[in-house]
Structure 1
Amino acid sequence: MKSYKVLLSVCLVICLLSACGSVKDITYLQGEGLLKKTAIADTFDLKIQKDDLLDIVVSCIEPELLRPFNQQSGGANYVGGYNGGYEGSYAGNNGYNRGYLVEVDGTINYPLLGKIKVAGLTRRDVIDLIEGRLKKGGYIEDPIVTVRFLNFRISVLGEVNRPGTYNILSERITLLEALSMAGDLTIYGRRDRVAVIREIDGERVILYHDLRSMDVFQSPNYYLKQNDMIYVEPNRVRAEASKQNQFTNVGTWMSIISFLLSMSILIFK
């Protein structure tokens, strides 16, 4: 009886230890202590890339001067005619209604000012550039220019609850925020293998992140950029379940074939 109690106690301890291990496998941002601090890198500046769609609006105290710059036809590479709408932080469609497309050479064709090189610049840089040219050209003395991205989108796929492509209203979104928009990882997603796929200078770069570690905040891909893709790998449980389903399907078809062969033998015997 005593040995039975000892064996039961050992089994209970093993179960508790295994349970603790499973919690650690799925807990985000693990670290020591109740208060965890990490420095915020405020050096992130989203750069404009080719194929970006920019909304550029000019305003001033003399409305009659604005007509050439804010007209609906826009420049030669002005995109318009579609208003897909936008709701909250997620858009199932493209919420574009106007904008200047950044061409392959990194330029936009802006009214009166002609071609302007914007690729590689920040939104603030483009504002300063256009305001400066409007003043220098004598078009508007005190222009106020606003620039925003119309097609800042990211894609989230793999083991998340709501995979898809998401349009972002602001120009700053983090990896954790994007996963939150996608409904978080499923229980089958690997917290230690979350990939951010990004195109840099004609190359596709993949960087993996361990969400269980505080080091995720130091990743160069923690702040996402246009057209980034996030992929969450399945864990071993999902892979094993997939194999079992495959074998089950094969077994089902083998049973059906065997049944049909047996029936054909009986019929034509």
Structure 2
Amino acid sequence: MNWKASISILAIIFSLTSCVTNKELTYFGEKETDEALIEQSIRMNEKPYRVQVGDLLSISIKSTDKRLVAMFQPVAAENAAGIQSEQSLYYNGFTVSKHGNIEIPILGKMNVLAYTLDEIEESVKKKLLDEYFNKAEDLFIVVKLAGLRFTVTGEVVNTGIYTLFQDRVNIIEALASAGDITTVGNRKDVLIIRQYPQGQKIHHIDLTSVDAFDSPYYYIQPNDMIYVKPLKQKSLGTGTTLVQSITTVVTVLSLVTSVLVLSRNL
């Protein structure tokens, strides 16, 4: 083996052992962007969520007539702060059926598919006023998603199924729940697998670019699955930091040197 071949081998080694760059680890890029444009993009993406099949709704009915309210609402276990547990919400919430309906005691079935939460509130309130209650001021309705449930898997610190009790959750908050992306996770191409009436669809978002704020997938939806692919550095088993890369190079150099010495002695 001559010196030219050795140089070629070393060049290949250096290309394979390149560490993960700061650019690959930085969210939303390093270029200057008008903050006003970013805020505008986020506001444009904040469209009201429309209910889908499989969603779990929490419907709270309050009135001065406690006895009448009890007819329409199941008794739910609450903690000392008056907050229902996730398990309690699962058993006492209202699941949207495959036909897009929920069934409220006494009121019966109501179609809520593709409705916003505000629209469902108005529908429930109107039906109660038309058939049971007398005064609008005596009736208060609150409809919320019973937790926003999603799955995070791939190159994150803690994979798993998470539930956040918020009206809106962006992808950064979702990833933070899983401990964030690891140093060998691909932030440039994060996959979001979303549920639709026709089935599942895969979407892509680049979290290293400020264009992520413009993405319709910046805000996640119930039952989304977020998958973070590994960078090539992991699949090759090479260093992810400069120190690790140098260690790998030194190890391989020692191997090449040994091979050269042995080949000359043969």
Question: Is the structural similarity TM-score above 0.5?
Answer: yes
User: Structure 1: which amino acid aligns with 2:69?
Assistant: L
How is 1:195-206 mapped onto 2 (pairs within 5 angstroms)?
A: 195-206=191-202
CA positional deviation for 1:53 = 1.7
Q: Residue 44 of structure 1 is aligned with which of 8, 29, 47?
A: 47
Contact 1:44 1:223 in 2 (8 A): no
**1:148 CA drift (Å):** 1.7
Going from structure 1 to structure 2, the CA distance change for 1:28 and 1:105 (only over 3 Å counts) comes to same
User: Corresponding residue for 1:113?
Assistant: 107
Query: What are the Cα deviations for residues 8-63 of structure 1, in whole angstroms up to 9, with x where unaligned?
Result: xxxxxxxxxx88x8112211111434874412224421111122221212111222
Total equivalences in the alignment: 210
Name the residue aligned to 1:169.
165
Q: Is residue 237 from structure 1 mapped to residue 239 from structure 2 by the alignment?
A: no
Using CA pairs below 8 Å that are at least 6 residues apart, which structure has the higher relative contact order?
2
Q: What is the CA–CA distance in structure 1 between the aligned matches of 2:158 and 2:88, rounded to whole Å?
A: 17
Partner of 2:181: 185
Cα distance in structure 2, aligned partners of 1:94 and 1:209: 35
- Matched residue of 1:96: which SS? helix
Q: Is the Cα contact below 8 Å between 1:96 and 1:151 reproduced in 2?
A: no
Q: Quote the Cα distance in structure 1 between the aligned partners of 2:203 and 2:98.
A: 26
After TM superposition, give the deviation of residue 141 of structure 1 in Å: 2.5
The offset of 1:176, in angstroms, is 1.1
Structure 2-normalised TM-score?
0.71
Unaligned runs of 5+ in 2: 1-17, 79-85, 239-266
Counterpart of 1:24 in structure 2 is: 23
Cα distance in 2, alignment partners of residues 127 and 95 from structure 1: 18
Question: 1:140 Cα shift?
Answer: 4.6
Q: Which structure shows the bigger proportion of residues in helix conformation?
A: 2
- Of 216, 220, 237, the match for 1:224: 220
Match of 2:95 among 101, 104, 107: 101
Deviations 1:97-139 (A, max 9, x none): 5211211111112122221101111111111001011111133
**Does the aligned pair in 1 maintain the 2:205–2:217 contact within 8 Å?**
no
50, 54, 57: which one pairs with 1:54? 57
Identity %: 30
Contact 2:149 2:162 in 1 (8 A): yes
Q: Distance in 1 between matches of 2:21 and 2:55?
A: 43
- 1:123 is matched with 117
Contact 1:193 1:208 in 2 (8 A): yes
Alpha-carbon deviation of 1:215? 0.4
Superposition pairs of residues 73-88 of structure 1, within 5 angstroms:
none
1:73-110 alpha-carbon deviations (Å, 9 max, x no partner): xxxxxxx89x9xxxxxxx8x896352112111111121
Q: State the shift of 1:159 in Å.
A: 0.3
| CA–CA separation in structure 2 for the residues paired with 1:123 and 1:95 | 17
Distance 2:104 2:89 in 1: 22
CA distance in 2, matches of 1:95, 1:35: 42
